[in-house]
Amino acid sequence: MKIAIAGFGLEGEENYKYWAAQGEHDITIVDESETPSHTLPDGVPTILGPGAFEKLQGFDMVIRTAGLAPYKIKTDGKIWSATNEFFEKSPAKIIGVTGSKGKGTTASMIATIFEAAGKNVHLVGNIGVSAIEALDQIGSEDIVVYELSSFQLWDLERSPHGAVVLFIEPEHLNVHTSMEDYVSAKGHIRLHQTVDDIFVYHPTNRYAHEIALSANEGKTIRYGISDDGGVYDRDGLFLQNGVIICPTNAVQVIGAHNIENACAAITLVRAYDPTVTVDEIEKGLRSFTGLPHRLKFVREVAGVRYYDDSIATTPSSAIAALKSFNQPKVIILGGSSKGSDFSTLAQELLQHDVHAVLIGDEATTIANACEAVGFKNYEIIANPDMTKIVTRARELATPGSVVLLSPSSASFGLFKDYADRGNQFIAVVEKL
């Protein structure tokens, strides 16, 4: 088969290795950069430079990297992806988790609960583990938990057996053509479900509800409320149908939003396998202590606690971080644009004893949103680097307060990605 590997970053390199290992394809690497971010393999034909993705006539299959929009590819062949390949070839049932934020945490909770129940679990996808690289390790009785971004879901031709849709808000609108395109992409997690499948979704989010209605098959359950038989929390307990499962303090990660994520995770587990016991659920929750750059405590210096929440690239995730602490706060906000609306975040700032340090391309946009609601306790740092940012946050903080890197924006421009941003924050804080 004549195959084009479209986009040659980390995922493109993995795609090349996977299809090249089959030893039966004529492969060409395609990238709009003249010098792709990963080293090109010797002797492999290439199509490089601006407009490369529009020159793919004559290929049987074009394997797109996740962040490459299908509509940017011009070909008379089939557009495919590593995610589609995995869903077609996986011998095990798949549980998929999506949403604007909380995907990785919820997927991890599902995985640790099943592990506590003695299941062989593979946690893959957007969380950073290549699904197609894991394919040959997966048995038919195993469980796959797949964190799915909108980019991975864009053209997915199959839906997972168990699907979770968390809160959805505007995100990646610098890549998706519209909010409708973004929600439509997310909706593929549900679109192809059958009568034997399970769909768990946010109880009040209208976009999650739209996705729920996109198919009439399977068992649908809203988490966080008692109405549908989902798991909810009350008085420090997780309950289902009025029956206690375990205390909410089994959740080892900070914030009310993570109690909600746990409700989603337990609801899915209970629907997927009712034999999982309450003791196994509690054990699984207690074993998960959080993911990097997700409201992770870094260090306490002079009575000030520093938290790395660099994964917070949307306004709602920064709001969740603010709500996680009663103490006075300094919050670092801003970065590159994803087309977000900061008005709700600005309203939330009014409810806290907080000073906002604004950085990056979105600093002025956030400042305008703050002015519109009357929040004045902010300042913009011009030409910032992480040392300057943390130094100013330290100056503003008082003993007993917290400093939050919870930017509500993408990282590009100032940093390579959210992980680089978080790692730089940690490095500077460690030197204080």
Can you give the pLDDT of all 432 residues of the chain as single tens digits? 999 999 999 999 999 999 999 999 999 999 999 999 899 999 999 999 999 999 999 999 999 999 999 999 999 999 999 999 999 999 999 999 999 989 999 999 999 999 999 999 999 998 878 999 999 999 999 999 999 999 999 999 999 999 999 999 988 888 888 999 999 999 999 999 999 999 999 999 999 999 999 998 899 999 999 999 999 999 999 999 999 999 999 999 999 999 999 999 999 999 999 999 999 999 999 999 998 899 999 999 999 999 999 999 999 999 999 999 999 999 999 999 988 999 999 999 999 999 999 999 999 999 999 999 999 999 999 999 999 999 999 999 999 999 999 999 999 889 999 999 999 999 999 999
Alpha helices, DSSP H, located in 90-205: 103-116, 131-134, 150-153, 179-186, 188-191
> Contact 341/315 with Cβ under 8 angstroms?
yes
Query: How many Cβ atoms sit within 10 Å of the Cβ of residue 240?
Result: 17
Q: Could you tell me the pTM of the whole model?
A: 0.90
**What Å distances lie between residue 232 and 106, 243, 260, CA to CA?**
15, 10, 8
What distance in Å separates the CA atoms of residue 38 and residue 311, rounded to the nearest whole number?
A: 24
Taking the chain, what is the end-to-end CA distance rounded to the nearest angstrom? 57
Question: How many CA atoms does the CB half-sphere of 33 hold within 13 Å?
Answer: 10
As a whole number of angstroms, the distance between CA 225 and CA 406 comes to: 28
Cα–Cα distance measured from residue 381 to residue 332, given in angstroms and rounded to the nearest whole number? 10
CA 15 to chain CA centroid, Å, is 21
Domains of the chain with bracketed CATH: 2-76 (3.40.50.720), 84-287 (3.40.1190.10), 296-430 (3.90.190.20)
* Cβ atoms 131, 82 nearer than 8 A: yes
Q: How far apart are CA 132 and CA 128, in angstroms?
A: 12
Compute the distance between CA of residue 146 and CA of residue 254 in angstroms, rounded to an integer.
Answer: 23
Q: What distance lies between CA 394 and its chain's CA centroid?
A: 29
Q: Cα separation of 107 and 96, whole Å?
A: 8
CA distances from 108 to 47, 66, 249 (A): 38, 21, 17
